[in-house]
Structure 1
Amino acid sequence: MPTTDAPRVERARTRRLVSEVSSTFRPADPVARALTAASLSLTVANGMFYAVSALLFTRAMGIPAVTVGIGLTVSGAVGVLTSLGAGYLADRVGALRLLTLCVVAQGLSLASFSVVDGVPAFVAVACLATGARQAGASARSALVARSFTGPSRVEMRARLHVVVNVGIGLGTCVAAAALLVDTPAAYRIAVFAVGCVTTTGALPLVRLARSTEAARRLAEPAASAGEETAGPEMASQGATDGAGGPAASGPRPDEATPAVGPGRSPFRDPQYLVVVGLTSVFAVHFGLQTVGLPLWIASHTEVPSVMISVLLVLNTVLVALFQVRFARGATTVPSAARTMTRACVVLAVACGLYAAAAVGNVALAVTVLVVAALVHAAAELWGEAGSWTLSFDLADERTAGAYQGLSTMGYAVATMIAPLLVTTTVISHGPAGWAMLAGLFVLVGLAFALGARRWAPHPADHG
């Protein structure tokens, strides 16, 4: 009996996998489909850019590495400001319209790297590109917050996170051609292609803005949920004809309309400020993965440098396979806070394992690093799911853009300070530095455990 059932079980499992992949990369919902297509274009371009940008700046432009680091820090600070400002702007002009403009601006800025030279031009273009990217991230979060409700918002973010990881992986593979040629011209051509690919991400967003069917589909969930306001994309979406004028009846999807009642500013919401602060500290682990770990492997272990790529690919695969599943365990504020506590404790364990890789022979170190990467991936999967639910459910829906802008700004700050924090702890102090980071994550986990009992979503009439 088991032998006859085995093929049937395998076919059912295959069908589930195909259905899962299809719902992630070709969702039925029009907003989800547009965001997925746009995100795939953006992340393929990002993967290409990450692979060639350092060599473009240093070899093609001739800029010293230290100067590149300073310029990128300046651009990161600009990104912090634009991520916050874009959140407020999304509440006024519409998140979809703002996201479309940011994608185009980011694409044009990245393409400009192919023709500029000199430090001032490099810093100026880097500020434009980073500012547009971070503003777009705020607009994207605001669009998700406006267009979906409850657990579906977190699942949408989880699916987009899968798309991001797959896109970056594909882009990195495409950029291998420029790396093999290894000439200044190859890097300039590659970054021009990056800009073009990024700009194509605006096309599905433009199509969404012109879709009457999408407008009706987006208006229904807000009405059925009985929310006070649906925001520009939920309650006010309509369509435009090919010339840009009104097509049938109803306003355009990217047209902002006033919310019912004055929404609260996130800066006057102590509960939300605490959550953003805690999730931002947790987000330092991304810098730990992309900056601290490569430097640690290269300078403190006997492991071949190729393990850096192996561990990054392993993380990408794990996130792509399991992020949606992990997101389904953090659907309420208490469960999300508990999930964040779990993520912080697991991340502290990963820090201990990374430190242990400096002891022993190469085979043992490689084994420990792989185990550490698995543990780190689990922390990321839980942490992303928990932070999404908290950022959505603790926000005032009437000023969703401003709240998501503040949340995105927190991640931008973490991205900016992570390299400095990681290098001054782990790289400068070795195992003691790993212990400091582990202790920091444990403290953040305890704060989330306390918050699980105290934090509560905004009531519908809050304001």
Structure 2
Amino acid sequence: MLILASFVNRVGNGLFNTAAALYFTLVVDLPAVQVGAALTVAGLIGLLAGIPGGHLADRRGPRTIMMLALAVQAVAMSALVLVDSWAALTVIATVDQLAAAAAGAAWGALVVRVGTDRPALFRAKLRTYVNLGVVLGTVGAGFAVTANTRTAYSVLILGNAASFALCALFLFLLPNYRALASPPQQRRWIALTDRPFVAFTALYGAMGLQYPVVSLLLPIWISSHTDAPRWTVAAVSAINAGVCVLLQTRIGSRIETPRDGGRAFRTAGLLFLLSCPMMALTAHTPVWAAAGLVVAAIFVHSLGEIWESSAGFALGFGLAPDHAQGQYQGLLGLGFSAGQALAPAILTTVVLGLGTAGWLLLGAFFAALGAVGPSIERWGTRTRSRQEAEVAGSSPAAGGGRLYPASGDDSR
């Protein structure tokens, strides 16, 4: 049910995200600068809801909070068809982003509770279907873009709104997982005081710059710095999506423990270290050689993306205590979103500004981040083991009782 719910939701996202900017600029007739400003304001304010939303999920149950957030998103998305000004767009988009941040944190907590038997395999399958959903949604959006009418764009927006409602309906069929008890005298915002996890959040957010490499940086580089055929710009996204859909489960299912995650993070950095110089070389090769090099580079980069996302799952969930998964996932989402917000400015300024040297610097940056992965894992594992020992030693249940409910102690 969770895989199906996530798939449906991402089909809707693919429908909307592909054509949103065109709708607001061409149909609503808002200047592109105003659209960008509205979405930026909404995104920045939305970051504030991740940790509180995750905390609510930990205390009230992840399914409940996620369903409420999805309901708010369904209403906000439907309201976008009525937008006729910058102010209206800003307000509605802000509500949507606040709900999205809370839903993301609750989703993370729900994934932990659902995928208890084979967590790595479950998360790999989940990401495979999520990627497939985005691809299908993007294909559907192409028809609306071709039609280029208000009706066509409105259908996309309402289709995305319906995906939120349908996703919530599917989640209703899941068990209503109860909150796990917190240790005595625990601080409310425990995630913010967990230094190893905060460090990993920063590391994960920085490594997240690899995603806009595919969606933003490489297409610009191909069109303005290489002699590669223009069809390679479209091929970049198709190859990236195809590799992730086909290989995510095969690779990700083997990365189960935090130790596996630390090593996978290092492997991802090395793969990016290989792919970035390949992308740089496309500017110095003939037409068809450049096309072949682009295909090879995006294949290697996509492998790195699979290893990086799998490492993020293993470390992000494995280093967080079970009773506070929502709060920890909210913090991780905050770091990732902050990295994505800064990525366009960093990538276009540094890499496009420096050219080939910028690509080499970017590859070295990713490799350096990846090299820190095993150290972060050891630090986090050591710190958490010490905290668990202290809790067990101070608990009345230390003599053989159980302080927290087991993962299976759930009711509908």
The TM-score, its normalising length taken from structure 1, stands at 0.79
Per the alignment, residue 147 of structure 2 pairs with 181
Per the alignment, residue 261 of structure 1 pairs with 184
Q: Does 1:163 align with 2:129?
A: yes
| Structure 1 residues 263 and 294: CA distance shift in structure 2, 3 A | farther
Contact 2:62 2:110 in 1 (8 A): yes
Q: Does 1:191 align with 2:157?
A: yes
The higher relative CO (CA closer than 8 Å, separation ≥ 6) is in: 2
5 Å-filtered alignment, 1:137-286, equals 137-149=104-116, 152-208=118-174, 214=175, 233=177, 236=178, 256=179, 258-263=181-186, 265-286=190-211
Per the alignment, residue 14 of structure 1 pairs with none
Following superposition, the deviation at residue 60 of structure 1 comes to 0.8
Q: What value does the CA root-mean-square deviation take over the aligned residues?
A: 1.9
| Structure 1 residues 456 and 361: CA distance shift in structure 2, 3 A | same
Q: Does 1:419 align with 2:344?
A: yes
Of stretches 133-142 and 365-374 in structure 1, the one that deviates more from structure 2 is 133-142
Distance across 2 between alignment mates of 1:337 and 1:165: 23
Distance across 1 between alignment mates of 2:356 and 2:304: 20
| Structure 1 residues 53 and 304: CA distance shift in structure 2, 3 A | farther
Distance across 2 between alignment mates of 1:294 and 1:127: 29
Q: Which runs of 5+ in 2 are unaligned?
A: 392-412
Distance across 1 between alignment mates of 2:156 and 2:319: 42
Distance across 2 between alignment mates of 1:155 and 1:328: 4
Following superposition, the deviation at residue 400 of structure 1 comes to 1.9
Distance across 1 between alignment mates of 2:216 and 2:14: 16
Contact 2:196 2:379 in 1 (8 A): no
Distance across 2 between alignment mates of 1:410 and 1:122: 25
Amino acid at match of 2:151: A
Q: Does 1:68 align with 2:35?
A: yes
**What's the CA shift string for 1:305-328, capped at 9, x where partnerless?**
332222111111111111112113
Following superposition, the deviation at residue 450 of structure 1 comes to 3.1
Per the alignment, residue 220 of structure 1 pairs with none
Contact 1:296 1:426 in 2 (8 A): no
Q: Does 1:340 align with 2:307?
A: no
Contact 1:59 1:184 in 2 (8 A): no
5 Å-filtered alignment, 1:391-402, equals 391-402=316-327
The match for 1:302 among 217, 223, 227 is: 227
| Structure 1 residues 95 and 453: CA distance shift in structure 2, 3 A | closer
Per the alignment, residue 330 of structure 2 pairs with 405
Per the alignment, residue 440 of structure 1 pairs with 365
**What's the CA shift string for 1:209-262, capped at 9, x where partnerless?**
xxxxx46xxxxxxxxxxxxxxxxx2xx3xxxxxxxxxxxxxxxxxxx4643535
Distance across 2 between alignment mates of 1:452 and 1:116: 46
| Structure 1 residues 40 and 261: CA distance shift in structure 2, 3 A | same
| Structure 1 residues 462 and 115: CA distance shift in structure 2, 3 A | farther
Query: 3-state SS of the aligned residue for 1:207?
Result: coil
Following superposition, the deviation at residue 142 of structure 1 comes to 0.9
Q: Does 1:315 align with 2:240?
A: yes
Following superposition, the deviation at residue 411 of structure 1 comes to 1.4
Distance across 2 between alignment mates of 1:163 and 1:462: 40
Query: 3-state SS of the aligned residue for 1:113?
Result: helix
Following superposition, the deviation at residue 435 of structure 1 comes to 2.1
Q: Which runs of 5+ in 1 are unaligned?
A: 1-33, 209-213, 216-232, 237-255
Q: Does 1:53 align with 2:23?
A: no
Contact 1:134 1:412 in 2 (8 A): no
Following superposition, the deviation at residue 206 of structure 1 comes to 1.7
Query: 3-state SS of the aligned residue for 1:149?
Result: coil
**What's the CA shift string for 1:424-461, capped at 9, x where partnerless?**
11222221221221121122122124335544162344
Contact 2:119 2:256 in 1 (8 A): no
The TM-score, its normalising length taken from structure 2, stands at 0.88
